[in-house]
């Protein structure tokens, strides 16, 4: 209808122009007629050519600013209004697609944050752009800000930096010098036509420890039952024979055999103690006080050529089983003492030493027991907390197994490594 009105008014203007041109006298009439025709063509050109162009230009401005909430208004010109309808339809589709993407992204973000699997995302430059709570916990990292913008190899966590060695689209299992076991996977996804790499970190510790514990509990129960039952009968016979014999040499042999049977029973009982380890009885204790009270006993364990130093910051209170934590400290110091045996390293001016330090950082209490004895190799470090593993000729592989059990029951994080300077550190974080 609007186009019909436009045609009618155009004809009227043309008629007026022609009449003015015919009736008018001289130059004045000719000028009026030309002006009327020019005005008509200007109106037609504006509505047919300029107005659609302005509509398209306004649409481009909205697209450039990514303003998907505004719409163009019809202007009464057929071609321009067709552009308006097309643009508004496209804007509606873009807005709906944008809302769907935002909803999907928010949902995926919630899934990543709630996932028990650690997720580490890299940007296009290979630097860390995001890490979820599970990853920070497994990597021993307190805040995400500590690693954002860093490369993997520069992150302050041996678990996290280890991920950088995983080949693309492969999974690798890691045991970082303690009882924990991780599986890392290196993958990527396409964003804006580029591959963005990310890593998944899965904690296998609980499943692994349950399987290991179930296996050695069964073995120890069978061994303890068979050995102790057999030894009770054997030792009874030895006792009867020693009471009845008058042969001194035979008596000495029987006593030696009976003593050895007793040693075997004690040997089995040590393994059974690991299985029977009670759950910790938690109470509020002072780690500072515990270390100070244990120090005199620890000094009695030291050979004369080994020095023991201790540094404790303030009153470090935590919820723990005092007896079990004390046992852990004693076990670690004993291991440190044994690291000097048959090791002819260069001890420098300080000589042989063991250092105990404890401090609080934010909500974390860290206990470090270090020494400059024999270093731990990477191959040994990955197996140290495996049940019954030992590097000592006469060892049973129980000390670190028991230590790991106690620390695990206290929900502590721990590691045992030799650093680049040759210092071996057993680090515990409560």
Alpha-carbon distance 74 to 53, whole Å? Answer: 13
CA distances from 390 to 12, 342, 387, 393, 394 (A): 109, 16, 9, 8, 9
Alpha-carbon distance 315 to 288, whole Å? Answer: 6
Residue 417: left if φ>0, alpha if ψ -120 to 50, beta else—which one?
beta
According to DSSP, residue 199 is labeled E
Reading the block at residue 164, the tokens are 């950088």
pTM (predicted TM-score): 0.53
Reading the block at residue 188, the tokens are 């990527």
pLDDT of residue 154: 80
pLDDT of residue 4: 45
User: Does an H or E element contain 39, and which?
Assistant: helix 26-45
Reading the block at residue 1, the tokens are 């209808």
Residue 140: left if φ>0, alpha if ψ -120 to 50, beta else—which one?
left
Q: Which residues contact 115 (CB under 8 A, 6 or more apart)?
A: 132, 134
pLDDT of residue 276: 65
Q: pLDDT truncated to tens, each residue of the chain (430 aa)?
A: 445 445 545 555 555 555 555 554 555 566 666 666 666 666 665 555 555 666 666 666 666 666 666 666 666 666 666 776 777 777 777 777 777 877 777 777 777 777 888 888 888 888 888 888 888 888 778 778 888 888 887 877 777 777 878 888 888 887 765 567 788 888 888 877 788 888 888 887 766 666 666 666 677 776 776 777 777 777 788 788 887 777 778 878 778 788 878 777 777 776 666 666 678 888 998 988 888 888 888 888 888 888 889 988 877 888 998 888 888 898 889 888 888 887 777 777 788 899 999 998 878 889 999 988 888 776 666 666 665 656 665 555 566 777 887 888 888 888 888 887 788 888 888 8
Cβ contact 382:178 at 8 Å: no
Tracing tokens 């004809």 back to the chain, one arrives at 11
Nearest to 208 by CA among 426, 406, 387: 387
User: Does an H or E element contain 2, and which?
Assistant: helix 2-23
């Amino acid at each position: 209808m609007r186009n019909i009105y436009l045609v009618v008014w155009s004809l009227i203007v043309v008629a007026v122009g022609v009449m003015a041109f015919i009736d008018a006298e001289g130059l004045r009439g000719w000028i009026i007629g030309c002006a009327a025709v020019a005005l008509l063509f200007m109106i037609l050109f504006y509505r047919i050519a300029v107005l659609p162009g302005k509509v398209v230009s306004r649409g481009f401005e909205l697209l450039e600013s990514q303003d998907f909430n505004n719409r163009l208004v019809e202007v009464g010109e057929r071609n321009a209004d067709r552009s308006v309808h097309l643009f508004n339809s496209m804007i509606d589709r873009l807005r709906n697609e944008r809302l769907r993407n935002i909803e999907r992204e928010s949902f995926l973000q919630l899934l990543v944050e709630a996932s028990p699997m650690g997720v580490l995302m890299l940007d296009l430059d290979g630097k860390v752009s995001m890490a979820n709570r599970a990853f920070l916990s497994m990597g021993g990292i307190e805040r995400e800000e500590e690693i954002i913008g860093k490369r993997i190899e520069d992150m302050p966590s041996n678990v996290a930096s280890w991920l950088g060695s995983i080949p693309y689209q492969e999974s690798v299992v890691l045991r970082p010098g303690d009882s924990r076991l991780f599986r890392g996977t290196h993958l990527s996804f396409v964003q804006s036509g580029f591959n963005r790499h990310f890593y998944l970190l899965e904690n296998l510790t609980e499943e692994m420890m349950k399987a290991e514990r179930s296996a050695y509990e069964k073995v120890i129960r069978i061994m303890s039952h068979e050995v102790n039952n057999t030894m009770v009968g054997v030792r009874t016979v030895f006792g009867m024979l020693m009471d009845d014999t008058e042969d001194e040499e035979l008596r000495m042999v029987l006593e030696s055999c009976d003593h050895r049977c007793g040693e075997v029973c004690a040997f089995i009982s040590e393994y059974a103690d690991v299985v029977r380890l009670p759950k910790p009885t938690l109470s509020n204790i002072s780690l500072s006080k515990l270390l100070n009270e244990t120090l005199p006993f620890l000094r009695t364990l030291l050979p004369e050529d080994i020095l023991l130093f201790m540094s404790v910051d303030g009153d470090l209170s935590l919820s723990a089983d005092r007896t079990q934590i004390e046992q852990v400290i004693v076990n670690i110091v004993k291991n440190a003492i044994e690291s000097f045996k048959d090791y002819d390293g260069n001890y420098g001016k300080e000589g042989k030493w063991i250092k105990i330090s404890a401090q609080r950082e934010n909500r974390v209490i860290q206990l470090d027991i270090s020494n400059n004895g024999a270093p731990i190799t990477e191959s040994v470090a990955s197996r140290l907390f495996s049940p019954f593993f030992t590097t000592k000729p006469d060892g049973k592989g129980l000390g670190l197994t028991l230590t790991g059990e106690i620390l695990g029951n206290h929900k502590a994080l721990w590691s045992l490594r030799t650093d680049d300077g040759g210092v071996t550190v057993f680090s515990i974080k409560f």
